[in-house]
Amino acid sequence: MKIEQTTDLSICRALRHQVFVVEQNVPEAEEWDGLDGQAIHLVAWQGNKAVGTARILEKGDTGKIGRVCVTQEARGTGLGAALIRAALDVLRGRPGMRRALLGAQTHAIGFYEKLGFVAHGPIYDDAGIPHRDMTRDL
């Protein structure tokens, strides 16, 4: 498994379409929020096949990790955790970054807690899926 930064948004968008739009029924209008052009994108490879992605948006001293997805065949392999660790490494290398933020689907809160994130605030709806904000210091 290899994770790298990419500027090829077509790979990331294809993965996100499959996981979020097809599998999780997220409306396309909500998935494509217009922020991809200002984000750092990661893609995970298994051999020559893209199997996961994440994006990072910077605001002040905080990096927001989002659009994290792993294809069905690569779930349960540790890839999701590896993508989060890779995103944290990217943020640590950016000047002035102090913390990471993400909006976790509520069923995944335990997963993110194992990676050092702490849940804050109320549960909210994002694209019909309950979420909660989580942060961790870098």
- Model pLDDT, residue 127: 87
In this predicted model, what pLDDT tens digit does every residue of 82-134 receive, in sequence order? 999 999 999 999 999 999 999 999 999 999 999 999 999 999 999 889 999 99
Mean pLDDT of all residues in 50-78: 96
The pLDDT value given to residue 67: 96
pLDDT per residue as tens digits for the range 34-63: 999 999 999 999 999 999 999 999 999 999
Taking the C-alpha atoms of residue 13 and residue 15, their distance in angstroms, rounded to an integer, is 5
Domains of the chain: total: 1
H-type alpha helices, 1-98 = 9-16, 28-31, 79-92
Query: Quick check: 29 pLDDT over 90?
Result: no
Phi, psi of 110 (to 5 degrees): -60, -40
| Beta strands at 99-105 and 129-137: parallel, antiparallel or unpaired | antiparallel
pLDDT given for residue 21 in this prediction: 95
According to the model, what pLDDT value does residue 9 have?
96
Q: Are strands 40-46 and 118-126 parallel, antiparallel or unpaired?
A: unpaired
Q: Is 58 helix (H, G, I), strand (E, B) or coil?
A: strand
Q: What are phi and psi of 70, to 5 degrees?
A: -130, 135
> Can you list the alpha helix ranges (DSSP code H) found in 17-78?
28-31
For residues 24, 38, 94 and 97, what is the CA-based torsion angle, rounded to 10 degrees? Answer: -70
Residue 40 is part of a domain; what is its CATH number? 3.40.630.30
Residue 84 and residue 101 in contact, taking contact as beta carbons nearer than 8 Å: no
pLDDT of the residue at 5: 97
The whole domain housing 12 covers 2-137
From 50, 52, 107, select the one nearest 84 (Cα to Cα): 52
